Structures are given as C-alpha cells and as structure tokens.
Amino acid sequence: MRISVIGLGRLGLVHAAALASLGHTVVGVEANTQRVRKILDGTLEMHEPGLVELVRTALTDGTLDVTGEPSAARGACAHFLTVGTPELAPNEGFDPSYLENALRSLVPSLQPGDLVIGKSTVPPGTAAALAAQLHRESPGAELAWNPEFLAEGTAVRDTLAPHRLIYGVSSLEAARLLDEVYAPILDRGTQRVITDLATAELVKLATNAFLATKISFINTIAQLAATSGADALQTAQLLGADPRIGASHLNPGLGYGGGCLPKDTRGLAHYAQHAGAIEAAQFFTQVDTINAAQRQHIAEWVIAQLSGRQDSQVAILGASFKAETDDIRESPSIALAHALMSAGLRVRIADPVVTASRGEDSRLEFVRTAEEAMREADVTLVATAWPEYRRLNPAALLPMVRRPLIVDTRHCLDSEDWRNASWDYRSMFNLSLH
Ligand code: UGA
C-alpha cells in the first residue's frame, strides 16, 4: 500500500521507516528542510537504537522517500499525521495548530476514500474538530485516530511489535484499511481494538498520565520508606511483584521527564479543569508537583552538603531524560543542574550522546565521559541510567575526585562495589546529612 506520513520527528520517522519495513511504499513529508537533508544523508538528528539502519535500508530499497513537498502525499490512500502537539504555554494545554496545518497542507493531495490517521497525543475532542475540518475541506476523505505507545530508546521495537493497536474510527471501511496497513503485525496475533475517536484519544493521554502517576506514587512511598527505616527499593520491588500493580514505571528516583509524561499529565489536568472536573485537575496537578519536588529535594541536599565550600564542583552523570536517547526535553538531570548552578555550584554534566549543542544552556559544561565530569568533584550524581555507568570502576575513579560521595538517583549502580571501594554511596532515599 502507498502511505504518507506527515511530520518526521521522533514519532513520524520511526513510523514511516517501520511501515516501509513492513512492505509498504511510504513517503514521509517534513517541513524542516535540514531534517529532510539529514534523513536522506542517513545521518539522523536523533539517537534512537536501530533507527538509522531501518531508515537507510528503506531509502536504499526505495520503499521510503522523504521530501519537504506536501504534494508528494498524492496517490497514497492512508495518510498518518505525526506532528507534535506541544503545550501552548506551561499548564495551558495542547497546541493543535501543527495538526490543523498538517491537515490543511494534506487536503489538496487527498482523494475520495482516503483515510487520514492521527497518531499524535491530544485531548478528547481534537479528532472530532479535525474530522469537521476534513469534512469541510475534503468531504470524500475520512479521519481516524490510532494512538502510538512507543517509548524512546525502544521506539523501533515498540512500533514493530506493539502491545496492542487501537483504532478510533467512524466506519468499518476505516478499520479495514488500518488492518491492511498493519497486516504483518496483526498476523502475529497482536490484539487490535476498534473504538470511537474520543476513546482512542483519551486512552493514550490516560496511559501516559497513569505511568506518571505510578512514578510519583512510588516516589512518595520511597520518601515514606526513608523516614520509617523501610527499604525504599525493596518496597517498590515487592509492590511491583503484585500482578495487579505490575513492576513497570515503579522505579523510584529523580522522577519523570521527556517530551511526553510531563506535558501529557499537565495537559490532562488542563483538560479536566476546563471540563469542570476539578478533583481530577487537582489530582494530575499534584502528580506533576510531586515529580518536580524530587529534583528539588536532591538539589537542596547537595547544596546543604557543600555549603560554605568555595569552588565546589558537582558531577552529573547523564543529561538525557532517560537512557538510550539524546532527548533532553524536561530532563530531570538538566533541571537538577540548573538548580545547583543557581545556588552558585559548578556543574559538569556527562552524557554518552547528548552534546553541548543540544544543551541549551551555555553555562552548563558538557563532557562525554564520566571520568571527565568527575575530575575534582565534591559530589557525583547519577541522573540517567546509561549502561556505561554500571560498568564504571569505582576504585579507579577514587583518586580523581575531591570527595568520594556518589548519589545514585536511578539506583543503577552496584552499591556494594562502590562501598567496598571506599565510596560514600547513597541511594536517592538515603540522604541523611552527616
Ligand atoms: C512515554 C510512554 O512510556 C510511551 O508509551 C508513550 O508512547 C510516550 O511516552 C509518548 O507519549 O510518546 P517515554 O517518554 O519515551 O515514553 O519514556 P518512559 O520510558 O515512559 O519514561 C518516562 C520518564 O519516566 C523517564 O524520565 C524515566 O526515567 C522515568 N521513569 C520511568 C521513572 O522515573 N521510573 C520508572 O519506573 C520508569
């Protein structure tokens, strides 16, 4: 099938390349010409495991074409909208204008019977408004909503082997067309659910808000563990071992970041507020507040530890919001760095893939390796669970630092190894002052 994908960011490019690998002929349309050039060169702007290979293969095979020209979508019968839905302003809800403009640019290429499929995360009612826009501008085409659940770092795998496919549709023809698109995935027995537009929209937003809630929940429990003498990590593990709860998104630590969980939780709070669901709005706002407090707690602790010492140096290991991505949107690590710098501390931040050009703050010193960041450090904070940090050699690092104090906010190090090598190893929930 010939398919178009409008918007080649972190969601759209993975989707386009994955559909090409399933045997479709895909044209990706992207307004950012520099991004188009990079994709065609096979040098992607983003770090996403397996994606470069998938894109290069599809380009070489001719199953994927990438262009800035919206009219290239003509001739496709399924058109995926994968543009962003950023916040209008903090706590002001989602900006639908990228979706509206993408649809408008697509309309001249549409033919009767074409299906336009939204994949972006939106509040309920967005798809109905876009369907009305489509009905006015191209009456023969139809709109469906097919939310995406891929996570960064595992995006290729998640797209090619999703837990389930959700079709928000207004007709059986639309569902049949989506079945054709996803035939190789459905043939493997993947569950697919047919529902209406609003349910498809809400289930995606609710999924992200639920994952955020789980993280904030376990972080409050971990705080209680710290004050009661209970083991925070074991408590989390035992909670997660209950199949009714599940272990995913139950690791306590620095809290969630990224382009999705924070924005979507605030977006749901905003939506609830406007729907008159005041308790729901307060609930999701509180999830967000608890999340922000995690980094504040640790920043205050570090500042208290270093108070009165001139030229204190902090090493932060990991800049991205989680491992296996170069994405620093709402990264807890960067927020922590800013809080420490505001208190006058010097911060050096290491990341295996994030470089200074991605870090928007020129005062923040970016380095590649943990060793570079830890030179003369008074405190080392592990903020992102990159696998290379698990492999660090604590004995070899000891002579490099001014003070062998390490705080593992992601609980990814072997605490015994570090303690045996004479480090003062602290978990995020064992930070008493002394
Ligand atoms: C999230 C969802 O997991 C995806 O299903 C969804 O499709 C995506 O948003 C999206 O809407 O595009 P992602 O933001 O890539 O995916 O990352 P997650 O793995 O969910 O992690 C989010 C944040 O929570 C990270 O900062 C991570 O470090 C943190 N986290 C995660 C924890 O603090 N504890 C955990 O137990 C798990």
Condensed to tens digits (0 to 9), the pLDDT of residues 318-374 reads: 999 999 999 999 999 999 999 999 999 999 999 999 986 655 566 789 999 999 999
Indicate the SS3 state at residue 160: helix
Pocket test for ligand 1, best of 87, 249, 384 (most atoms within 8 A of CB): 249
Among protein residues, the one with the nearest Cα to ligand 1's atom 28 is: 322
In angstroms, what is the span from residue 261 Cα to ligand 1's centroid?
6
Q: Are 354 and 320 in contact (CB under 8 A)?
A: yes
Q: What pLDDT is attached to residue 434?
A: 41
DSSP calls for 7-31:
--STTHHHHHHHHHHTT-EEEEE-S
Q: Which residues are catalytic?
A: 260
CA 88 to chain centroid, in Å, comes to 18
Name 178's Cβ contacts closer than 8 Å, sequence gap at least 6.
Answer: 78, 115, 117, 144, 146, 165, 167, 169
Among protein residues, the one with the nearest Cα to ligand 1's atom 6 is: 149
Count of alpha carbons within 13 angstroms of residue 423, beta-carbon side: 31
pTM score: 0.96
Residue in the block written with tokens 């710098």: 341
Q: What pLDDT is attached to residue 197?
A: 98
- What's the CA gap between 207 and 214, in Å, rounded? 11
Closest alpha carbon to 428 in 211, 283, 218, 163: 218
Among protein residues, the one with the nearest Cα to ligand 1's atom 27 is: 256
**Geometric angle at alpha carbon 205, from 203 and 208, rounded to 5°:** 105
Q: What pLDDT is attached to residue 433?
A: 45
Closest alpha carbon to 64 in 96, 108, 16, 29: 16
Name 226's Cβ contacts closer than 8 Å, sequence gap at least 6.
Answer: 232, 429, 430, 431
In angstroms, what is the span from residue 250 Cα to ligand 1's centroid?
11
Pocket test for ligand 1, best of 202, 245, 261 (most atoms within 8 A of CB): 261
Q: State the DSSP code for 363.
A: T
Q: What pLDDT is attached to residue 359?
A: 52
Gyration radius from the chain CA atoms: 23
213-236: pLDDT as tens digits = 999 999 999 999 989 999 999 999
Indicate the SS3 state at residue 328: coil
Among protein residues, the one with the nearest Cα to ligand 1's atom 23 is: 256
Which residues, judged by CB distance below 6 Å to any ligand atom, belong to the binding site of ligand 1?
Answer: 121, 148-152, 208, 211, 215, 249-251, 253, 255-258, 260-261, 321-322
Residues in the chain with pLDDT < 50?
A: 433-434
Closest alpha carbon to 98 in 121, 75, 68: 121
